[in-house]
Structure 1
Amino acid sequence: MNRSSLGLRIPTGMRDLLPEEMAIQDQVEQKIVTLFKLWAYQKVSTPALEYGACLQPDEEKGDQFYKFFDRQGHVLVLRPELTTPIARMVSSRLKGSELPLRLCYSADIYRTVSNRNREYRQAGVELMGSANPLADAEVIALAVESLRELGLNDFQFNLGHMGIFSGIMDELKIDSEFRLNYEELLAHKDLVGIERLVEQSEFPDSARKILLKIPHFHGQAEMLEEVLEWSQSPSLQDAVASLKMVYEYLRDFKVQEYVALDLGILRGFTYYTGAVFEGYVRDIGYPVIEGGRYDALYGEFGYALPATGFAMNLGALAERMNPKAKPNPTVLVYGDNITEVIQAVQKLRGQGTQAEMGIDLSPAEAEMLAQRKGIAQIKRIE
């Protein structure tokens, strides 16, 4: 029975990776994971399907998830990120581990609402058990080193702090409805929309001035002195002090030149509580690395731990790379004596050589096949 035309298509937002594309992604992933391990992060894996009770989609973000029901009626969700599944795993299977705990991963994630692919490869790290700003600096420095490891130099990181933003909103007594609208516009860098929203508000001129300035607060540590003038709130003062320390540690890691402070950064997941950051590469119009501190998430699983980490979009980065090795075999082995051909090709593979076994080939056909496939060597078994 012939399949319908739908059988030749793939769902919206999914993608096939051809051999050349897969080779590039494998090279990128291997470099990144090797670097993570060099920094003492241990690789883990979580299932693609999690219970909805683990990921807890709220009403606003629930439609971004691929959801199913199992035979018992439980809601299952294809993971939209790895931070929460790893929190679930640590809280249930690694409780009591020596802290700080450093874990890394590389896996596919799935989101139904995306301007890009709805399935893509992520790699990332999670550092659990330390509230010290040095932990934040470590993961940011590792994120920077990850892009450098791939040979990139045309990138920029922006660093902010959720505590500073929340402190300013509380100090200005911004109501929840206005704040939600403002956050959405700020997250999309919609400066025109922010101006319109602020102009239509009934806040005092002093508050309007600050709300209009936040999207443009981008630069070095000196700008934080002005933020301290806006409020004497202890929580805001602590957030500024923490961000200053993170930024200073980045100088010690020798990566500060790649990082600018930006108070307009808002992460898309609600669990972020402290320092947050984004990494941009030239000619890619969205962050290829996103991360930050999320100290409240583990408490939801009954195992209160401070934590920080980041995730990087391997697919987007792989598209910028040129493969150093082709996926084609190195040697084509053929001949009339099948037993000896098999023995020869197996010996080459045992020595670590990529070898293809020719089937029913004449010498002329072997030459043509090798040329078409870009196979450098031909070995004929007499």
Structure 2
Amino acid sequence: MLRTNLGLRIPKGMRDLLPEEIAVQEGLEEKILTLFRQWSYQKVLTPTLEYSACVQPDVEQEDSLYKFFDREGRILTLRPELTIPIARLVSTRMRGGEFPLRLCYGADVYRNTTVRHREFRQVGVELVGSDQELADAEVIALAVEAIAGLGLDNYQFNLGHMGIFSGLMLEAGVDEGIQTQLEEALARKDMVGVESCVIQSGLPGRVQELLLRLPHFHGGEEILDEVLAWSERPAIREAVESLRRIYQYLNYFGVQANVSLDLGILRGFSYYTGAVFEGYVPGMGFPVVEGGRYDALYGDFGIPQPATGFAIHLGNLLEQFPLSAVKGSDVLVYGSDAKQIISQCQALRSQGKRVEMALGVLGEDEAQKIMLQKNIKQILYVE
């Protein structure tokens, strides 16, 4: 039965990967995971499907989830990211672990949004069980080194703190509805939306001025002193001093030159509570690295633990790397006697060779042609 036109297509936002693309992606992933292991992070993997009850409470837009029903009528969803599933894993099978835990992953995530890609390959880390600024600095420095290790030039990381925005909202007594609108607009970098929301808010002029400045307030450590002049509220002061310590640690790690302070950063998942950061590479108008501190999430799973981490959107980085011919087999074995050909192939494979077996009788010219077409190193004729 012939497939319909729809049967020849793939769902919107998904994509096929050719051997050349897979080779690049797997090479990048292995390089990053090797770095993670050097920093003592251990790899874990969670199911592609989770119960909606696990991930839905912490997703800003419920309609961004791919949802299904199982045979018992319970709602399932494709994981939209790995932080929440790993929190579930740590809170159940790893509940008695020795904290802090350093975990890493490489897996696909799915988001039913309007962006170009709805299936993402992510690699990332979760550092669970430490509330120290040194932990924040560690994961940020690791993220910077991961991007640098891929050979990308002119990358830039921006670092902010959720406490500054929430402190301003608290001090100004901003209505919860307006705060949500502002937070969503800032997270999307929608400056028109931010301005519209602020102007219509009816907030005092000074507060409006600060909110309109926030998305453009970035630079070095000097901006933190200016923030302290805005308010005496303890929450803002604590956030500023926390950022100052993290920024100093990044200097010790040798990565501070690639990190700017940016007070307009807000994350799209509701669980972030402290320092947040993003990483950019030239030619891409969205962050390829996203991360931050989320100290309240584990309490929702019954074992309160501070935590911080990040994810690298590896699939989106593929466009930054040239594709080359896939590495061919070590040898093409051909001849006229199937028994002898099979025996020779098996013998070579037992030695660790990558072997392609001719599936019909070939002449030497045909074998040479296949060797060139498939980038095979050599040919071997079996008597």
Partner of 1:368: 369
Q: Deviations over 1:308-327 (max 9, x none)?
A: 00011111122322467724
Q: Do residues 359 (structure 1) and 359 (structure 2) align?
A: yes
Q: Do residues 299 (structure 1) and 268 (structure 2) align?
A: no
Q: Deviations over 1:279-335 (max 9, x none)?
A: 001111111110000000000000000000001111112232246772422321111
Question: For 2:148 and 2:142, how far apart are their aligned partners in 1?
Answer: 10
Change (3 A) 1:324 1:364: closer
Question: For 2:77 and 2:297, how far apart are their aligned partners in 1?
Answer: 18
Residue correspondence of structure 1 range 63-82 to structure 2 within 5 A = 63-82=63-82
Q: Secondary structure of the equivalent of 2:2?
A: coil
Deviates more, 1:201-210 or 1:237-246: 201-210
Q: Secondary structure of the equivalent of 1:249?
A: helix
Partner of 2:157: 157
Change (3 A) 1:190 1:22: same
Q: Do residues 341 (structure 1) and 341 (structure 2) align?
A: yes
Percent identity over paired residues: 58
Tell me if the contact between 1:108 and 1:120 (Cα under 8 Å) persists in the aligned partners: yes
Partner of 2:20: 20
Residue 340 of structure 1 and its aligned partner are, at CA, apart by 2.6
> Where in structure 1 are there 5+ consecutive unaligned residues?
none
Residue 168 of structure 1 and its aligned partner are, at CA, apart by 1.4
Indicate the RMSD between aligned Cα atoms, in angstroms. 1.6
Partner of 1:128: 128
Q: Secondary structure of the equivalent of 1:56?
A: helix
| AA matched with 1:370 | M
Q: Deviations over 1:94-152 (max 9, x none)?
A: 11211110000101111111412111211110000000000000000010010111111
Give the ranges of 4+ consecutive aligned residues of structure 1 lying more than 3 Å apart after TM superposition.
57-60, 322-325
Partner of 2:175: 175
Change (3 A) 1:58 1:295: closer
Partner of 2:37: 37
Residue 59 of structure 1 and its aligned partner are, at CA, apart by 8.6
Change (3 A) 1:369 1:325: closer
Partner of 1:310: 310
Q: Deviations over 1:35-54 (max 9, x none)?
A: 11111000001000111111
Change (3 A) 1:206 1:126: same
Tell me if the contact between 1:20 and 1:327 (Cα under 8 Å) persists in the aligned partners: no
Partner of 1:147: 147
Residue correspondence of structure 1 range 1-382 to structure 2 within 5 A = 1-57=1-57, 61-322=61-322, 326-360=326-360, 361-382=362-383
Question: For 2:22 and 2:332, how far apart are their aligned partners in 1?
Answer: 22
> Where in structure 2 are there 5+ consecutive unaligned residues?
none
Tell me if the contact between 2:130 and 2:307 (Cα under 8 Å) persists in the aligned partners: yes
Question: For 2:307 and 2:141, how far apart are their aligned partners in 1?
Answer: 16
Q: Secondary structure of the equivalent of 2:139?
A: helix
Question: For 2:223 and 2:288, how far apart are their aligned partners in 1?
Answer: 26
| AA matched with 1:376 | K
Question: For 2:343 and 2:252, how far apart are their aligned partners in 1?
Answer: 56
Q: Deviations over 1:56-100 (max 9, x none)?
A: 247951110111111111111110000000000000111121111
Change (3 A) 1:59 1:222: closer
Q: Secondary structure of the equivalent of 2:320?
A: coil
Question: For 1:60 and 1:239, how far apart are their aligned partners in 2?
Answer: 23
| AA matched with 2:29 | E
Q: Secondary structure of the equivalent of 1:353?
A: coil
After TM superposition, the score normalised by the length of structure 2 is: 0.96
Tell me if the contact between 2:129 and 2:307 (Cα under 8 Å) persists in the aligned partners: yes
| AA matched with 1:379 | L
Change (3 A) 1:57 1:300: closer
Residue 191 of structure 1 and its aligned partner are, at CA, apart by 2.5
Residue 337 of structure 1 and its aligned partner are, at CA, apart by 2.6
Question: For 2:299 and 2:325, how far apart are their aligned partners in 1?
Answer: 46
Residue 7 of structure 1 and its aligned partner are, at CA, apart by 1.8
Deviates more, 1:257-266 or 1:357-366: 357-366
Question: For 1:351 and 1:247, how far apart are their aligned partners in 2?
Answer: 52
Tell me if the contact between 1:66 and 1:78 (Cα under 8 Å) persists in the aligned partners: yes
Deviates more, 1:227-236 or 1:126-135: 227-236
Q: Deviations over 1:238-274 (max 9, x none)?
A: 1111111111100010000110000100101000000
Question: For 2:351 and 2:114, how far apart are their aligned partners in 1?
Answer: 45
Deviates more, 1:274-283 or 1:225-234: 225-234
Question: For 1:195 and 1:130, how far apart are their aligned partners in 2?
Answer: 37
Deviates more, 1:12-21 or 1:366-375: 366-375
After TM superposition, the score normalised by the length of structure 1 is: 0.96
Change (3 A) 1:71 1:192: closer
Tell me if the contact between 2:328 and 2:377 (Cα under 8 Å) persists in the aligned partners: no
Deviates more, 1:348-357 or 1:67-76: 348-357
